Amino acid sequence: MATSGKIKLVTFVTGNPNKLRELNSILLTAGLSDRVVNKDIDLPELQGLPEMVAREKCRLAAERVGGPVLVEDTSLCFNALGGLPGVYIKWFLDALGPDGLPKLLAAFPDKSAEARCVFAYSRGPGQEVKVFAGVCPGSIADKPAGDNRFGWDPIFKPDGFHETFAQMVPEVKNTISHRAKALSLVRDFLVGELE
């Protein structure tokens, strides 16, 4: 386990292939994608604020992997609903589907929302956990539009664009998204952390 000096590899613990694909293509441009390997470990997820969920996920991942780990947790927050579904978006999406999510806002004129991503990194079991957050402001479309390649992408329209994430080419989403913003902080950190 690395406790000082530089590290060689980081394990990105996620069971979500879409997160992995986006991380690889965003880190590729920084020449770091071959330094991050994937492990799919089903970790229990604490409920609560996004940063706490990511921190706890990271602590558990470091114990399971026994070395440097990166995890991330994504939230989708509807402003009219006080930030819900938030970290519970996975369960809302599973229950309602992308068609059902906009119906939660049917009674509200305010369709604004935020996609939030929190990465958490630790060098290993018992080591400090560092977090890196990215937020993408936007709004919820009335109905899904675009290729349904990733969960709620078809209903999220980032501010400044007329298309949903699912209607964009990946290169555009990967420049402006919640994940891209958080990963730009992760990338700057990893440059100093990796040998």
Ligand X SMILES: O=c1[nH]c(=O)c2ncn([C@@H]3O[C@H](COP(=O)(O)OP(=O)(O)OP(=O)(O)O)[C@@H](O)[C@H]3O)c2[nH]1
* Residues at the contact surface with ligand X, assessed by CB under 6 A: 14-16, 19, 45, 72-74, 89-90, 93, 150-153, 179
- Residue 73 or 193 with smaller CB distance to ligand X: 73
Please tell me whether the peptide bond between 170 and the residue prior to it is cis, using omega within 30 degrees of 0. Answer: no
Contact 75, 67 (CB under 8 A): no
The reply to whether 148 sits in an annotated binding site is: no
The reply to whether 143 sits in an annotated binding site is: no
Q: What is the sign, positive or negative, of the torsion defined by CA atoms of 172, 178, 180, 184?
A: positive
Strands 129-140 and 156-158: antiparallel
- Residue 16 or 33 with smaller CB distance to ligand X: 16
- Residue 81 or 93 with smaller CB distance to ligand X: 93
Report the nearest approach of ligand X to the CB of residue 185 (Å): 17
The reply to whether 150 sits in an annotated binding site is: yes
The reply to whether 31 sits in an annotated binding site is: no
In whole angstroms, what is the distance from residue 42 CA to residue 117 CA? 19
State the residue number with the nearest CB to ligand X.
Answer: 151
Residue type, 123: R
Residues annotated within the binding site for Mg(2+) are 45, 73
